[in-house]
Amino acid sequence: MDFYFDFASPYGYFAATRIDDIAARHGRTVAWHPILLSAMFKISGMKPVMDQPLRGAYLLHDVPRFARLLGVPVTIPKTMPLHSLVAARAFWWLQPADPAKAHALAKAIYHAHWGEGRDMATVEQVAEVAEPLGISAADLAAGVQDQVVKDRLRAETERAVQRGVFGAPFILIDDEPFWGADRHDQIDQWLARGGW
């Protein structure tokens, strides 16, 4: 299964708290793919939610409500939307050599940003959650400037578009697409029944 998300999306955060457990119940694993929605919006013609007057107000009401239902912490960040370039690159810098650490960093970034409301835009801010995982700030700073890493993030975003991804969270079971954090029950059923 492939899990496409942007660290800027609270619904991606909700999915991140659940998707591994749902997959594991059915003997599946999940490949995490942070991407940049801003790049995707240029293709899809969609606008960021917070730039849409009524949708933005709904999100500010829906996100805390959704979090209470799931029983996960949430704090609306002061700075929105998150500029998620550094965070996404940090993941793709770590991922080839140590996928487990990249996964742990992604969870830590999501928790800091959406669980605690902390900005995660700069190398220094990402380093605060990376260092407890044994990742040095100096290595991180160099890694997110590596051309291979920059290219990987761009390629992941382009590949996502090729696969039909237009928003986040977006989950592909093999090639079966599910968009949104409110489709977890459908994903669970799809895995249990092998489709319907």
Q: Name 171's bridge partners.
A: 3, 178
Tokens of 119: 């900005």
Cis status of the peptide bond prior to 10, with omega within 30 of 0: no
- Is residue 37 helix, strand or coil? helix
Task: By CB under 8 A, tell whether 137 contacts its own copies.
Answer: no
Residue 62 binds its own copies, judged by CB under 8 A: yes
**Does 43 interact with its own copies (rule: CB under 8 A)?**
yes
CB of 77 to its own copies, least distance (A): 22
DSSP label of 136: -
Q: How far apart are CA 151 and CA 181, in angstroms?
A: 28
Quote the CA–CA distance of 87 and 102 in Å, as a whole number: 11
Q: State which residue, 25 or 42, has the beta carbon closest to its own copies.
A: 42
Report the residue from 46, 50, 80, 141 that binds its own copies according to the rule CB under 8 A: 46
Draw the binding track, 163-192, toward its own copies (x: CB under 8 A; -: no contact): -xxxx---------x-xx-xx-xx--x---
N residues, the chain: 196
The residue type of 161 is V
161 lines the binding site for its own copies (CB under 8 A): yes
Chain contacts with its own copies (rule: CB under 8 A): 43-47, 51-55, 57-58, 61-62, 65, 68-69, 161, 164-167, 177, 179-180, 182-183, 185-186, 189, 196
